[in-house]
Amino acid sequence: MKLAFHIGVHGTDGDRLLKTLKENNDELLRQGTEIVPPERHSEFLDQTLMQLQGGTATNEIEALLLDSLLVTEDPQRAIFSSTSFLGAVGRIVGQPGFYWQLGTRAASLVNLFPNHDVEIFAAIRNPATLLADMLPQFWGGDYAKFMQGHPPEALRWREPARQLVQAVQGRRVVLWCHEDAPLIWPEITRLIGDVDPDIPMKATMLYMQELLDAQAFQNLRETLGAQDRLSVAARREICARFLQDHAKADALEQEIDMPGWTQDLVDRMTENYYQDVAEITVMPGVEFIMP
């Protein structure tokens, strides 16, 4: 069996993956895929992870976990989605750096199911906007404790990504940029669900629906529906045009209000992010979903 873990990161998904997959639950069940919601897996997985402390589960523990988590008979694929796999917001930055536990956390999930094929899925996001969004959720917004003494521009993605690939030892790792999600959400959900491109899926336009007003979204649906055998590239081009022309006011922009930050600092962090993405897209062991 294959087990797909969508592990976040913080400030990216907002439960959209679960919403999309649940809309397609009947089709997923027909092809042998079970969605395991957080309310069913959180307690079991957390307790077992604490018990094993990163070690490998025995056959007995693995069998007990699967028996507790799965409700369908003999599924071929199970999907788990939760940012809790990466811990609380306070774990985004630690003394060792940015997402310093990403690799070890993913490896712990792999070690829960040593006899099955585990896949890891995650979005990455510009640290400038990610940190600005997450600070208010951190212990009352204490900036100094949140940053752990690190200069903002030092918090980068290339090292966590490298550690992730190294830690899961050849298991599948699929990454994408959160900023690209509105254009690539259908491909993301198909990959995680392992749904054939010829099978119609529902609710794959959740991001677009959020970013456009009701009339613009309806116009987009009509435009897409009028196309004959629409290619992925053509769909993305149409969606990009609608975002450019009809996105809600400020929907694609974020005000960053962090102590001591300047626009120049944000620009440097963003340029670092672009550089890291360029490296990660060609990193051995990473499948990167590009727009």
Alpha-carbon distance of 254 to 178, in angstroms, equals 14
The predicted structure's pLDDT at residue 71? 96
Cis amide prior to 36 (ω within 30 degrees): no
Say yes or no to pLDDT of 227 above 90: no
* Mean pLDDT across 49-67: 95
Sign of CA dihedral 175, 101, 12, 273: negative
pLDDT, tens digit, 9 for 90 and up, residues 253-285 = 888 999 999 999 999 999 999 999 999 999 999
pLDDT above 70 as % of the chain: 100
The encoded tokens of residue 13 equal 């998904």
Say yes or no to pLDDT of 150 above 90: yes
Q: What is the CA radius of gyration of the chain?
A: 20
The predicted structure's pLDDT at residue 76? 97
Alpha-carbon distance of 82 to 30, in angstroms, equals 24
Q: Which residues contact 224 (CB under 8 A, 6 or more apart)?
A: 230, 235, 238
Confidence label for 212 from pLDDT (cuts 50, 70 and 90): very high
Query: Is the pTM here over 0.85, yes or no?
Result: yes
pLDDT, mean over the chain: 96
Report the relative pairing of strands 77-81 and 287-289 from DSSP bridges: unpaired
Alpha-carbon distance of 274 to 287, in angstroms, equals 17
The predicted structure's pLDDT at residue 70? 96
* Mean pLDDT across 175-188: 98
The encoded tokens of residue 212 equal 């456009």
Alpha-carbon distance of 277 to 161, in angstroms, equals 10
SS3 sequence, the chain?
A: CEEEEECCCCCCCCCHHHHHHHHCHHHHHHCCEEEECHHHHHHHHHHHHHHHCCCCCCHHHHHHHHHHHCCCCCCCEEEEECHHHHCCHHHCEECCEECCCHHHHHHHHHHHCCCCEEEEEEEECCHHHHHHHHHHHCCCCCHHHHHCCCCHHHCCCHHHHHHHHHHHCCCEEEEEEHHHHHHHHHHHHHHHHCCCCCCCCCCCCHHHHHHECHHHHHHHHHHHHCCCCCCHHHHHHHHHHHHHHHECCCCCCCCCCCCCCCHHHHHHHHHHHHHHHHHHHCCCCCEEECC
Angle between helices 102-112 and 59-69 (to 10 degrees): 90
* Mean pLDDT across 16-44: 95
Say yes or no to pLDDT of 228 above 90: no
